[in-house]
Amino acid sequence: MRKNISPALAAALPALAIAVLILVFPAEALRASLKGVSIWWDVLFPALFPFFVISEMMLGVGLVHFFGTLLDPLMRPLFRIPGIGGFVMAMGFASGYPIGARLTSQLWDQGLVNREEGERLVAFTTSSDPIFLIGAVSVGFFHNPALAVVLGAAHYGSAVLIGLLMRFHGVRSPGNKGKKDLVPAHPADKAEGSGIWKRAFESMHAARLKDGRALGTMLQQAVGSGLQLVFMVGGLVVFFAVVMEVLASAHIMAFFYISIDAVLNFFGIPASLSQAVATGFFEVTLGAKAAGGAEGASLLFKTAIAAWVLSWGGLSVHAQVVSLLHHTSLRYWPFAAARFLHALLGALLVFVLWEPLAPVQSSLAPLIPLPDMNRPLSTLLHYTLPAAGWTFSAMTGLLLLITILFLAGKRCMKAIRS
């Protein structure tokens, strides 16, 4: 009985403290909740809902299994995840958090990934979407479209590095127990030769038959689950916006600022960015906005902190991921460790790439779209959906090209040895 009391108290005491602060600062809490609803409606709802529905449909018709069979020869040796993780990677990069976690939970439900594979997968496919990075952060918060080049390179480049590092996660594990963890790996020789395309179509057809739902039923259920998920995301965004506001009104956030100031000063980063770090620790949108509006700091340092915020994701995104994975055996601590490392690598890559990418930024600046985030429907139709489509196609095409080159190189090596 005692073992169950401590976790309950650990959850109840902070909840009670927040409830008291909301009663003490009702006006501030209301203002923060309205701000959170605005962020959800203007930014998150149009950016997430279509992709919740699209990903559900693609999984139902078997397209996920099709790409999984094609990408298996690359994803297993490179990231130690099934080929189906290549689809999650492309979709996660194109659609942003928490699409990667949503797809990972669905793959676990179908027994297509085990616990360690799911933890590796969700660790590096949780990222920002391109339109949020360009439209909200680079254009809206920094008023500098060219900044999207270095931000994107740092953010997505460090995500791939996290994927390569996470392949070592669970290397010495004796194995997971339970039928959900018994997912056989495809033999390497099975993925070679021209038969891989035939197997890909067969896998897609088998998945469609196994699903068995009519397209109308599938669409109806996809819309229903998508609405449920996007409202869950909105509730968490509003909750963390209120928490940050009441903590700031009670001057509790000042203690966070002091601690963060000491860390930033140690690394030579201006203390004026401590508010962005503290805010971004809780919520990614508000943290990136605070980084863009920080005074007394150079653009390089502000961009590095923005990359840190985007890669960490904020506790709001962490809560979204946990809520999506709560019914699985996947653990939170590998995800949290990967987020922290992703944040550090993202900020570090900004410093590394700042000078080399300077000429590229100036040349690509005229080609970068300028979405108006205050017009969510227009942004969705003219920017979000096309950008996600291009990103998904480019990522999938690149992975397929690397897979083909990998298989061709493997066959050449076998021919030389024989």
The one-letter code for the residue type at 115 is R
pLDDT at 353 over 70: yes
Judged by phi (left if over 0) then psi (alpha if -120 to 50, else beta), residue 128 lies in beta
Return the pLDDT at 259.
Answer: 87
Under 8 Å CB-to-CB from 211, ≥6 apart: which residues?
A: 60, 61, 62, 218
Three-state DSSP class for 77? helix
Secondary structure of 115-184 as H, E, C letters: HHHHHHHHHHHCCCCHHHHHHHHHHHHCCCCCHHHHHHHHHHHHHHHHHHHHCCCCCCCCCCCCHHHCCC
Longest dimension (CA), the chain: 78
CA distance 19 to 268: 38
What are the tens digits of pLDDT across the range 203-243?
Answer: 888 988 888 888 889 989 999 988 998 898 889 889 988 99
pLDDT at 307 over 70: yes
Three-state DSSP class for 252? coil
Return the pLDDT at 185.
Answer: 45
Domain boundaries along the sequence of the chain = 25-392
The full length of the chain comes to 418
Using 50, 70 and 90 to split pLDDT, how confident is the model at 366? low
| C-alpha separations of 371 from 345, 368, 386 in Å | 28, 9, 12
76, 97 contact by CB (below 8 A)? no
Q: Which residue has the higher pLDDT, 12 or 229?
A: 229
Question: Could you please report the per-residue DSSP string of 362-405?
Answer: HHHGGGS----TT-HHHHIIIIIHHHHHHHHHHHHHHHHHHHHH
State what percent of residues in the chain have pLDDT above 90. 29
What are the tens digits of pLDDT across the range 130-142?
Answer: 888 888 888 888 8
Using 50, 70 and 90 to split pLDDT, how confident is the model at 182? very low
pLDDT at 381 over 60: yes
What distance, in Å, lies between the first and last C-alpha atoms of the chain? Answer: 66
340, 187 contact by CB (below 8 A)? no
Average pLDDT over residues 157-169: 93
The one-letter code for the residue type at 120 is R
Residue with tokens 């805010």: 279
Smallest CA-to-CA distance from 159 within 313, 387, 359 is with 313
The one-letter code for the residue type at 288 is A
How many other CB atoms are found less than 10 A from the CB of residue 204?
19
Phi and psi angles of residue 148, each rounded to the nearest 5 degrees, phi first:
-60, -25
The one-letter code for the residue type at 167 is R
How many other CB atoms are found less than 10 A from the CB of residue 297?
19
Phi and psi angles of residue 118, each rounded to the nearest 5 degrees, phi first:
-65, -40
CA distance 336 to 112: 23
Smallest CA-to-CA distance from 70 within 83, 52, 54, 87 is with 83
Q: Tokens for 280, please give them.
A: 């971004």
393, 56 contact by CB (below 8 A)? no
Mean residue pLDDT of the chain comes to: 83
CA distance 139 to 175: 47
Q: What is the dihedral of CA 143, 146, 148, 154, to 10 degrees?
A: -130
Task: Read off the pTM.
Answer: 0.84
CA distance 7 to 2: 10
